[in-house]
Amino acid sequence: MFEYAPAPESRSVVDLKPSYGLFVDGEFVDPADGGSLKSINPASEEVLAEVAEAGSADVERAVRAARKAYDKVWGPMPGRDRAKYLYRIARLIQERSRELAVLESLDNGKPIRESRDVDLPLVAAHFFYYAGWADKLEHAGFGADPKPIGVAAQVIPWNFPLLMLAWKIAPALAAGNTVVLKPAETTPLTALLFAEICQQADLPAGVVNILTGAGDTGRALVEHPGVDKVAFTGSTEVGRAIARSVAGTRKKLTVELGGKAANIVFDDAPVDQAVEGIVNGIFFNQGHVCCAGSRLLVQENVADRVLESLKRRMAQLRVGDPLDKNTDVGAINSAAQLERIRELSDAGSAEGAERWSPPCELPDRGFWFAPTIFTGVTQAHRIAREEIFGPVLSVLTFRTPAEAVEKANNTPYGLSAGIWTDKGSRILWMADRLRAGVIWANTFNKFDPTSPFGGYKESGYGREGGRHGLEGYLNV
């Protein structure tokens, strides 16, 4: 046997302080009411740092700082000068990418292989990409001289803490807005390191403000009357509440919510690559991906062969220490999320679906869930309808392309879909009929700053990325 020796990435590149304040008006400040939260490492349950919990007085202060910066500095600044700051931030992210990647893995639980090879390169790429737009907005297709909106309140989730920050902050700043961003309560640390990078880049005070905290902080922020634009990524439930609170105000809103994507494998698919795509679709980032391919629709005549290959491949997945460079699947982000994954998986078994996981040893401490597939799933099962947001795949079969489309679309969500076939015409035929914002053909979970991302139906509205991503931050 060829056993890989442990290959841990060093933690020493990260210099964690015991506690962090809020980042308001260019500096770290203590919260007005002194509340705090602990951010833990989900792989060990060790406390990493204490962070402030912003209350309504802090929100007030941050929004005021953002307004001032918008009126006096960032709004009037020529696009080419805003671009300089964004390029500078992008380069600093690249320079400090190892530190950011290690911290992201520590705080989130995702494998270092992903934070190093996927998250961080994409984060830098987003800043570079939107830096390029800052002085070219009149060519973006929104009129001769499109104006920014003002102060943007941005609330982001815990699954890609830094990447979601980049998706929000880069286009907002490029378009001339200032922001108040609230990272998720379980993963605030890389956003605070990003605040340090803003200082290092000499970004004018108040252009970026970071308020840590939980749901109440987020609510106070999006409901603040001084906010012109709200951008949210997270659960459909919270997205609905935000839409209600914003309704009837002048605030513009974009939301990117949940998903239950179908990954559709036809009988002429390249099997080995399709299996890789299935694995990447659902086990990437422990399945904590809103566009995860959580429903596998496989053509009945190849279902056995595909499942056999899939199980063999799953047995190769290395679950464990997120900082080990050979880890494929890391820790579940929080106890609450683990509980939800367990609850839905148990419902799957109780409803009669057949559950399978490869033999794999899970660490004693921390939050862990083995990669799992359910076969014999029907459209009526909860695990085929509800977003699990974990490493759990539901397998369904179909016989004809029309049936595949019907099943794929039979969900209130519509964020993404995957098609696996050697036939180009079928890819186009399917893509025309699938109601999903992103459709991948013979690949899955591919992201690029030039490509717009967003949903249909209850997966949200608005697009992030690409030229389209500017629209949500321009007064058009």
Partner 1 sequence: MTATTTSARSELSELGRSETALRTFLHGLPGVDQVGAEQRAAQLGTRSIKTTAKAQAIDLAIRMVDLTTLEGADTPGKVRALAAKALRPDPADPSCPHVGAVCVYPAMVPHVAEVLRGSAVHLASVATAFPSGQAPLEIKLADTRAAVAAGADEIDMVINRGAFLAGRYQEVYDEIVATKEACGDAHLKVILETGELATYDNVRRASWLAMLAGGDFVKTSTGKVPVAATMPVTLVMLEAVRDFRAATGRQVGVKPAGGIKTTKDAIKYLVMVNETVGPDWLDPDWFRFGASSLLNDLLMQRTKLTTGTYSGPDYFTLD
d(CA 184, CA 160): 10
Query: Considering only 182-190, 249-257, 268-276, 353-361, which stretch makes contact with partner 1 by CB under 8 A?
Result: 268-276
Q: At closest approach, how far in Å is the CB of 103 from partner 1?
A: 19
Active-site residue (options: 9, 53, 256, 387): 256
| C-alpha distances out from residue 4 to 143, 327, 441, Å | 57, 11, 34
Q: Exposed/middle/buried for 327, CB within 10 Å: 0-12, 13-18, 19+? A: buried
Written as six digits, the tokens of 55 are 């209350």
Q: Exposed/middle/buried for 47, CB within 10 Å: 0-12, 13-18, 19+? A: exposed
Would you count residue 5 as binding partner 1 (CB under 8 A)? Answer: yes
Would you count residue 1 as binding partner 1 (CB under 8 A)? Answer: yes
Report which DSSP code applies to 462: S
Q: At closest approach, how far in Å is the CB of 308 from partner 1?
A: 9
Would you count residue 272 as binding partner 1 (CB under 8 A)? Answer: yes
Cα 1 vs. chain centroid, distance in angstroms? 37
Q: At closest approach, how far in Å is the CB of 53 from partner 1?
A: 38
Q: At closest approach, how far in Å is the CB of 466 from partner 1?
A: 21
Among 22, 54, 164, 269, interactor with partner 1 by CB under 8 A: 269
Q: At closest approach, how far in Å is the CB of 129 from partner 1?
A: 22
Would you count residue 298 as binding partner 1 (CB under 8 A)? Answer: no
- Triad 374, 314, 439: Cα angle to 5°: 70
Which residues lie closer than 8 Å to 333 by C-beta, 6 or more apart?
42, 108, 109, 158, 159, 186, 187, 286, 288, 367
Q: At closest approach, how far in Å is the CB of 444 from partner 1?
A: 10
Write down the number of H helices and E strands in the chain.
Answer: 15, 18
Q: At closest approach, how far in Å is the CB of 117 from partner 1?
A: 7
The binding track of 89-128 with respect to partner 1, each residue x by CB under 8 A or -, is ------------------------x---x-----------
Would you count residue 273 as binding partner 1 (CB under 8 A)? Answer: yes
Using CB under 8 A as the binding rule, the residues of this chain from 327 to 356 that contact partner 1 are none
Task: Please say whether the beta carbons of 445 and 289 come within 8 A.
Answer: yes
Report which DSSP code applies to 316: T
471 is catalytic: no
- Triad 221, 223, 229: Cα angle to 5°: 80
Q: Is 78 left (phi over 0), alpha (psi -120 to 50) or beta?
A: beta
Query: Considering only 66-74, 211-219, 254-262, 271-279, which stretch makes contact with partner 1 by CB under 8 A?
Result: 271-279
Would you count residue 276 as binding partner 1 (CB under 8 A)? Answer: yes
End-to-end CA distance of the chain: 62
Which residues lie closer than 8 Å to 396 by C-beta, 6 or more apart?
295, 296, 297, 298, 377, 378, 379, 384, 407
d(CA 126, CA 193): 17
Would you count residue 325 as binding partner 1 (CB under 8 A)? Answer: yes
Among 29, 37, 73, 271, interactor with partner 1 by CB under 8 A: 271
Toward partner 1, which CB reaches closer, 85 or 440?
440
Q: At closest approach, how far in Å is the CB of 275 from partner 1?
A: 10
The binding track of 417-436 with respect to partner 1, each residue x by CB under 8 A or -, is -----x--------------
Which residues lie closer than 8 Å to 461 by C-beta, 6 or more apart?
254, 255, 454, 455
Query: Considering only 88-96, 134-142, 232-240, 265-273, which stretch makes contact with partner 1 by CB under 8 A?
Result: 265-273
Would you count residue 301 as binding partner 1 (CB under 8 A)? Answer: no
Would you count residue 316 as binding partner 1 (CB under 8 A)? Answer: yes
Toward partner 1, which CB reaches closer, 2 or 244?
2
Other CB atoms within a 10 A radius of the CB of residue 233 amount to 23
Toward partner 1, which CB reaches closer, 103 or 269?
269
Using CB under 8 A as the binding rule, the residues of this chain from 199 to 218 that contact partner 1 are none
The binding track of 232-261 with respect to partner 1, each residue x by CB under 8 A or -, is ------------------------------
Quickly list H helices, 176-214: 189-200
d(CA 430, CA 418): 10
Would you count residue 359 as binding partner 1 (CB under 8 A)? Answer: no
Catalytic residues: 256
Interface ranges with partner 1 (CB under 8 A): 1-7, 113, 117, 268-274, 276-277, 316, 325-326, 422, 442-443
